[in-house]
Amino acid sequence: MIIKRKIAVAVVLNSAIVLATMAVILSFFMGNKDAFIRSGPQSFRFFTTDSNVLSMLGSMIMIPFELRILRGKAESIPRFAVILKYIGTASVTLTFFTVMFFLGPTFGYDIFLGDTGIFTHLLSPMLAFYTFTLLESDCEISFKNVLWAIVPTLIYGAVYLTQVVFVGERNGGWEDFYFFNLGGYWYMSSTVMFIAGILVNLLVRSLHNSTCRKLSGIQKSGKRVYEW
């Protein structure tokens, strides 16, 4: 019963993530503007938007499987769904830490936590982190999935680097809105972000697995725990 209560809370929080993210993105297509985004399509230039979409998709996939558990029609969540939730959570957690420990202190939190930023930079990442590390602990995440979780960061980094450094704003590329090429030190920023991404992925995995191991003690005592 303890596990089912956690699953029930996870369903509520996952639904909140989905609704909040959809509302934010829809607002950009309906004329809402913030400090950086001027249109709906332009919003997808930002890792903030992309990571929140990944997190939303991970939450969206988890909901029906968790509902089946609550209805007694299933005892576990498919492995692929848990991995996708992990990738989305790791990505949006990287967004959170980047804002909290680099962009916010450097350029001011008002810019990043105002308007829709309060959801995409703070609330939604916190909800995703909480649900995956403390509520959705069916089974442990293997180390190889840490590498899968860094793929979105690598893809985005390659696109950002191409648009900002190799193409350049003067030639139709992007402006350096994340300030990763200040002083021409893009190679240092790229290295730092890669290392930060790996560390964040390891953190999310570690906390998720820690909760899973604690629940495994309940299973040994004879109580039911949902597994793959």
- Print burial letters for 71-102: b (CB count within 10 Å at least 16), e (below 16): eeeeebbeeebbbbbbbbbbbbbbbbebbbeb
Question: Among 133, 104, 134, which Cα is nearest to 121's?
Answer: 104
State the average pLDDT over residues 135-139: 85
pLDDT of residue 166: 93
pLDDT tens profile 28-87: 998 877 667 767 888 899 999 999 999 999 999 999 999 999 998 988 899 999 999 999
What's the CA gap between 104 and 38, in Å, rounded? Answer: 21
What's the CA gap between 83 and 33, in Å, rounded? Answer: 33
Are the CB atoms for 86 and 150 separated by under 8 Å? Answer: no
Say which residues have a Cβ less than 8 Å from residue 103's Cβ, sequence separation at least 6: 111, 112, 178, 179
Q: Which two tokens stand for residue 53?
A: 């979409």
Say which residues have a Cβ less than 8 Å from residue 208's Cβ, sequence separation at least 6: 86, 132, 133, 136, 137, 140, 141
**Percent of residues, the chain, with pLDDT higher than 70:** 92
* pLDDT for residue 214 is more than 90: no
Lowest mean pLDDT among 75-84, 89-98, 122-131, 178-187: 178-187
Question: Among 139, 149, 12, 155, which Cα is nearest to 92's?
Answer: 149
State the average pLDDT over residues 200-222: 81
What's the CA gap between 158 and 197, in Å, rounded? Answer: 14
* pLDDT for residue 156 is more than 50: yes
**Percent of residues, the chain, with pLDDT higher than 90:** 68
